[in-house]
Amino acid sequence: MFKKVEQNRVFHGVVVQLEEAILNGRFQPGEKLPPERELKETFQVGRGAVREALRILEQKGLLEIRLGAHGGAIVTSPSSEPMLESLSLLLKRKEIPFEDIQEFRSTVEGRIASLAAERCDKEDLTRLKTILTKCEYYLEKEYDWDAFLLEDGRFHQELSNIARNQLFSLIADALHQNIHNYYTSRLEKKKEILEENLRDLHVIFDAVKSSDILQAGENMRNHIVRFDAYMTHEQGELQ
């Protein structure tokens, strides 16, 4: 199954071959890889190279290293968590330029809204309406800037779920769960901004409810451009 690896960065050669074996299904989720001693002999490398390779594969989410008498390197089921965790950290640290987020949202979320208008059902609309009701509550009954924006994020996340596209949903969840830092540093806490935002959400909802694919996408793009304009300052962030 395996072959001797080159001596330059030997652990990399081990990583490549083990990863290929896992992804090709030679090792199934829950199955244990051969012990370190056997891998060392198979690849003709030192134990340090084997352990480094296993550590990297664990970081990639392909393995789980268990300790103890019944431990070892266990193949895990495919998961999006490592990728999403990395994206979440980048957003939390604001290491992704705000302009990149603007461009991504205006392009992708417009399409998400169109798909939601095409694919929604009554239960989807009920969930969206519930979120809008909460937005209204935090704006009109018990004014709470942070809580309103969290519900706004849920509205966008729910649209991505309604679009029935797993990749859109995963990325939208990671984005809207961690975009709050950008709002805090860039968005003035003015009630009239949230009032306008809520009007936009209602307009988007109405287009989705009417199954108006083109209008839903256009409404979403207009909303993002208008809302993001409030967060674009000459100094980049609020002082």
Give the DSSP per-residue string, 34-84: PPHHHHHHHHT--HHHHHHHHHHHHHTTSEEEE-STT-EEEEPPP-SHHHH
Q: Containing domain of residue 40, as a range?
A: 10-75
Query: What is the pTM for the complete model shown?
Result: 0.74
User: Which CATH number characterizes residue 137's domain?
Assistant: 1.20.120.530
Last residue of one domain, picked from the residues 57, 75, 93: 75
Let me know if residue 71 belongs to a domain: yes
Question: What confidence score (pLDDT) does residue 82 get?
Answer: 72
Residue 119 and residue 208 in one domain: yes
In a domain, 4, yes or no: no
92-100 contacts at long range (C-beta below 8 A, 24 or more positions apart): 92/178, 92/181, 94/181, 94/182, 94/185, 98/182, 98/186, 98/231, 98/232, 98/236
> At which of 75, 91, 110 does a domain end?
75
Residues 62 and 112 in one domain: no
Residue 34 within any structural domain of the chain:
yes
What is the distance between the alpha carbons of residues 186 and 228, in angstroms, rounded to a whole number?
A: 9
Domain co-membership, 88 together with 180: yes
Q: Residue holding tokens 């979320």?
A: 109
Residues 60, 169: one domain?
A: no
Which residue, 223, 221, 218, 198, is CA-closest to 207? Answer: 218
Residue 147, in any domain of the structure: yes
Residues 65 and 86 in one domain: no
In the chain, the N- to C-terminal Cα span, in Å, equals: 60
pLDDT at 234: 40
Last residue of a domain, one of 38, 56, 75: 75
CATH number where 31 lies: 1.10.10.10
pLDDT at 42: 93
Q: Which residues of the chain have pLDDT under 50?
A: 234-236, 238-239
Q: How many other C-beta atoms are found inside a 10 Å radius of the C-beta of residue 123?
A: 9
Which pLDDT does position 3 carry in this prediction? 64
Number of domains into which the chain is organized:
2
On whether residue 235 sits in a domain, the answer given is no
- Does the residue 41 lie in any domain? yes
- Domain identity same for 85 and 51: no
> What pLDDT is stored for residue 176 in this prediction?
92
Question: Are 38 and 90 found together in one domain?
Answer: no
Question: 169 with 109, same domain?
Answer: yes
H/E stretch holding 215 reads helix 213-229
